[in-house]
C-alpha cells in the first residue's frame, strides 16, 4: 500500500506550523505554555495602565459563564468593555481568547463549548471596535482547570474565557 506515502506528501510536517502565539503575557488563568504570570516581569506593574498586569488585574482578564452556556453576563460585558478599551489604546498587543469548561462534561464536547465561549468574547470585543485580526481563539475544554475541587465553587471559576495578551507587531 502506498496510501501512506501519498498521505505523507499531502500532510504538513509538524514544526512548520510553529507556535502562532509567541511572547504570551498570560494571566494566572492562561493555560498556554510560555505565558508569563500576571506578576511576571513581562507583565509590568499593575499600577501602570499600559501594562499587561493592569489589564489582567485592574480590568480583569477573564469572564465567567453559567453551566453549559456561552452567554455573556452583564458583569462579563463590563469587563470586556474595559478589555476592548485597553486593546484600542494599546494597539501593539494582540490577544488569544482561551475558552474553558468545568469538568462536568465529556472532553470533546467541552472543547466545542469552550470554543463557543471564546468566540462570544471575541465577537463582543470586535463589536467594541477591536480589529478581528488582533484576536485569536482557542479552547481547552476541561483540560486546564484553575480550581481543582469538584463542586460549584470551583466549577464556576473554571467556566471561563481568559483574554491572554501577547506582544507582537500587527502586520495586517
Of the candidate spans 38-46, 53-61, 78-86, 134-142, the one that interacts with other proteins by CB under 8 A turns out to be 134-142
**Nearest in space to 37 (alpha carbons), one of 56, 9, 11, 15:** 56
Q: Which range binds other proteins by CB under 8 A, 42-50, 54-62, 82-90, 138-146?
A: 138-146
The strand pair at 135-141 and 24-25 is best described as unpaired
Interface residue with other proteins, options 55, 65, 93, 140 (CB under 8 A): 140
Q: Which three cell numbers stand for residue 138?
A: 482557542
Q: Measured between alpha carbons, how far apart are the two ends of the chain, in Å?
A: 44
- Please say which residue, 151 or 171, places its beta carbon nearer to other proteins: 151
Is 20 an interacting residue with respect to other proteins (CB under 8 A)? yes
For the bound state, the minimum distance from the C-beta of residue 3 to other proteins, rounded and expressed in Å, comes to 6
Three-class DSSP category at 6: helix
For 131, counting Cβ atoms within 10 Å of its Cβ (0-12 exposed, 13-18 middle, 19+ buried), the class is middle
The residue within the footprint of other proteins, chosen from 25, 72, 87, 115 (CB under 8 A), is 115
- 113 near other proteins, rule: CB under 8 A: yes
DSSP state of 130: -
Query: Which positions touch other proteins (CB under 8 A)?
Result: 3-4, 6-8, 10-14, 17-21, 32-33, 70, 103-109, 111-113, 115-116, 118-120, 122-123, 136-140, 143-150
Amino acid at each position: 500500500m502506498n496510501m501512506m506515502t501519498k498521505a505523507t506528501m499531502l500532510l504538513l510536517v509538524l514544526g512548520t506550523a510553529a507556535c502562532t502565539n509567541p511572547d504570551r503575557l498570560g494571566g494566572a488563568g492562561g493555560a498556554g505554555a510560555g505565558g508569563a504570570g500576571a506578576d511576571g516581569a513581562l507583565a509590568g506593574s499593575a499600577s501602570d495602565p499600559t501594562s499587561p498586569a493592569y489589564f489582567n488585574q485592574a480590568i480583569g482578564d477573564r469572564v465567567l459563564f453559567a453551566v453549559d452556556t456561552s452567554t455573556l453576563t452583564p458583569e462579563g460585558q463590563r469587563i470586556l468593555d474595559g478589555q476592548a478599551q485597553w486593546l484600542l489604546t494599546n494597539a501593539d498587543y494582540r490577544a488569544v481568547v482561551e475558552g474553558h469548561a468545568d469538568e462536568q462534561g465529556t472532553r470533546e464536547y467541552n472543547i466545542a463549548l469552550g470554543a463557543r465561549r471564546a468566540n462570544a468574547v471575541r465577537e463582543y470585543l470586535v463589536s467594541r471596535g477591536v480589529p478581528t485580526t488582533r484576536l485569536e481563539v482557542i479552547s481547552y475544554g476541561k483540560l486546564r482547570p484553575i480550581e481543582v475541587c469538584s463542586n460549584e465553587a470551583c466549577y464556576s471559576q473554571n467556566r471561563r474565557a481568559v483574554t491572554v495578551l501577547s506582544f507582537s507587531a500587527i502586520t495586517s
